[in-house]
Chains A and B, each alone.
Chain A
Amino acid sequence: GQNIDQPTEMTATEGAIVQINCTYQTSGFNGLFWYQQHAGEAPTFLSYNVLDGLEEKGRFSSFLSRSKGYSYLLLKELQMKDSASYLCAVMDSNYQLIWGAGTKLIIKP
């Protein structure tokens, strides 16, 4: 079966750095996405990785290792507004997104 695993909840301090991990097992791979979702809102796109390595975009970076079926989202200089759920999703061989359950990130002052 297809499976995406990510921690249920994480807590971090304002101004710090946090890494949210995601491991996956899917039938085929056409890229891995990270989305941010605030409570009661639709997800918003953060990053897309299809090749191994690190993609940096401002305070957010995303890493992918296809051989390990592993990705992480790195958030730097945390702000209170970063409190949200972070969803990892993998596009399978049918170009459909397989979603993780999301990681709820709590930022404390």
Chain B
Amino acid sequence: GAVVSQHPSRVICKSGTSVKIECRSLDFQATTMFWYRQFPKKSLMLMATSNEGSKATYEQGVEKDKFLINHASLTLSTLTVTSAHPEDSSFYICSARDGGGVNEQYFGPGTRLTVT
């Protein structure tokens, strides 16, 4: 099946620093990638949708200047949390949709971000 990787799996950073999370589709081309945030015991919250070569579409309430998304190629999207604060601590999950027209989204393993 389709595989999506995320790096790093866990990261601890200090308040005020920036953190970059990479999401890669390993064996398929992902024309669309999604970034989710999950709070404990809550459903996944869609943060933004990114299409290769164009600007990401952010959901209401998500600060685009704080959560920078770059979908540089058909296999790579990055999420950069800028000037991180403790309230940004969360589980960030990316998913990718196969450009071949299948509706299913394939999820990365997630990144646990802790801001101290």
A: residues with CB less than 8 A from B are 30-31, 33, 35, 40-45, 48, 50, 87, 91, 95-97, 99-102, 104
Chain B, 95-116, CB within 8 A of any chain A CB? 103-110, 112
**Min CB–CB distance B58 → chain A (angstroms):** 13
Residue B77, interface by CB 8 Å: no
Q: Which of B39-47, B62-70, B81-89 contacts A (4 or more CB under 8 A)?
A: B39-47
Secondary structure dominating the interface of B: strand
In the complex, what residue of chain B is closest to A43 when comparing beta carbons? B107
- Which residues on the B side are within 8 Å of A97 (C-beta)? 34, 46, 105
Q: How far apart sit A35 and B44, CA to CA, in the bound complex (Å)? A: 11
Determine the interface band of chain B, counting residues with CB < 8 A from chain A.
10 to 19
**Min CB–CB distance B16 → chain A (angstroms):** 27
- Which residues on the B side are within 8 Å of A87 (C-beta)? 43-44
Q: Beyond A43-B93, A102-B43: 9 further Cβ-contacts under 8 Å?
A: A33-B104, A42-B93, A42-B110, A43-B107, A96-B46, A99-B46, A100-B43, A101-B43, A104-B41
In the complex, what residue of chain A is closest to B92 when comparing beta carbons? A42
Q: How far apart sit A48 and B46, CA to CA, in the bound complex (Å)? A: 20
- Which residues on the B side are within 8 Å of A42 (C-beta)? 93, 107-110
